[in-house]
């Protein structure tokens, strides 16, 4: 349907769009229609002056604004009718008694002009199909033959005035092309206001989204799922930090224990040679006890006895021998079981 001429609404120039869509070309401009309106105003003034330029009706007429046009771009039905007379076309009211007596099927006509509250638009047949060329639509709207009568009846119920265009319309490319082919329309055009509202809503949504991203510096969470993910990541980082602290604490305790072990090792005198086994220690103790018993059974010489007494007197502070032997035996057995400490030499 690219070949169909369709002017879209600009300001209040619906009368201009209606005529050009009807004639399928840029035939009229606001200046030309204004000229027709001024001519009609002058004709009306002259008729009023016939009754006397000093009459009250004439002075009232001069004070009133033009009824054929206004500053917004509106033009009356008289302007449209006079514009069509240039092309030999005539307008007849669709629901007038004269036309209704003709009983003409709407599909046998060529075009209609519709008006409601200062808005004009054209319904025209191009080729073998009808199209609604309303300038408030984003494009031509295909109307089937069966729907045309219902469409016109609906407009009448809504308060529209419908005019039948009589006469031969000028030739146009769309009419010639659509005589050979028929078109199909998958999607009906929308009203310009609806399209603008959708575009405005899309712009508002885009602006709101950009504002949200700007406030959050591009890192804000836009839904609950992402917020939950953020909280899960935060908990995971806390658990990792706690595990790191526990690992540091374990290493500190281990190092402290190692330092204590080294200090203990430094306090214990180191002995040369290999450590004796528990069996060797037991044999050494038995041999030592036997030797002591033999010395006790043999009488000591007088000099030696005196020497022993003196030695005993000088070591009166030493512990009892049996007690020392008992403690040494227990201590030696325990240390032999724990890493083989040389208990015998330590006791000596």
273 dihedral zone (left: phi>0; alpha: psi -120 to 50; beta) = left
CA 179 from chain center: how many Å?
Answer: 49
- Catalytic residue status for 14: yes
Residue among 20, 21, 132, 134 flagged as catalytic: 134
- Catalytic residue status for 115: no
Residue among 18, 114, 119, 132 flagged as catalytic: 119
Residue among 14, 21, 68, 132 flagged as catalytic: 14
Burial class of 2 by CB neighbour count within 10 A (0 to 12, 13 to 18, 19+) = exposed
- Catalytic residue status for 307: no
Would you please indicate which residues are annotated as catalytic (active-site) residues? 14, 119, 134
């Amino acid at each position: 349907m690219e070949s169909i001429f369709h002017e879209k609404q600009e300001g209040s120039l619906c009368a201009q769009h209606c005529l050009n869509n009807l004639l399928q070309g840029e035939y009229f401009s606001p200046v030309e229609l204004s000229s027709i309106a001024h001519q009609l105003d002058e004709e009306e003034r002259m008729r009023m002056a016939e009754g006397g330029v000093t009459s009250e009706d004439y002075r009232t007429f001069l004070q009133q604004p033009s009824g054929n046009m206004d500053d917004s771009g509106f033009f009356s039905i008289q302007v449209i009718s006079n514009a069509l007379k240039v092309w030999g076309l005539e307008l007849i009211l669709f629901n007038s008694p004269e036309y209704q007596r003709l009983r003409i099927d709407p599909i046998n006509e060529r075009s209609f002009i519709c008006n409601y509250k200062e808005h004009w638009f054209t319904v025209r047949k191009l080729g073998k199909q009808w199209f609604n060329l309303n300038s408030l639509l984003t494009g031509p709207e295909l109307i089937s033959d069966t729907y045309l009568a219902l469409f016109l009846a609906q407009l009448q119920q809504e308060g529209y005035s419908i005019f039948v265009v009589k006469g031969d319309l000028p030739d146009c490319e769309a009419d010639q092309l659509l005589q050979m082919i028929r078109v199909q329309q998958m999607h009906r055009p929308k009203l310009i206001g609806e399209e603008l509202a959708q575009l405005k809503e899309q712009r508002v949504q885009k602006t709101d989204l950009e504002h949200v991203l700007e406030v959050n510096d591009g890192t804000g969470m836009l839904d609950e799922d992402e917020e939950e993910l953020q909280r899960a990541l935060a908990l995971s980082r806390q658990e990792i930090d706690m595990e790191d602290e526990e690992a540091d604490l374990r290493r500190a305790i281990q190092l402290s224990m190692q330092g204590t072990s080294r200090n203990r090792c430094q306090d214990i005198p180191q002995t040369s040679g290999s450590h004796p086994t528990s069996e060797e220690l037991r044999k050494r103790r038995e041999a030592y006890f036997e030797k002591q018993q033999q010395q006790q059974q043999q009488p000591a010489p007088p000099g030696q006895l005196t020497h022993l007494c003196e030695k005993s007197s000088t070591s009166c502070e030493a512990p009892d021998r049996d007690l020392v032997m008992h403690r040494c035996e227990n201590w030696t057995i325990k240390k032999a079981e724990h890493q083989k400490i040389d208990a015998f030499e330590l006791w000596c």
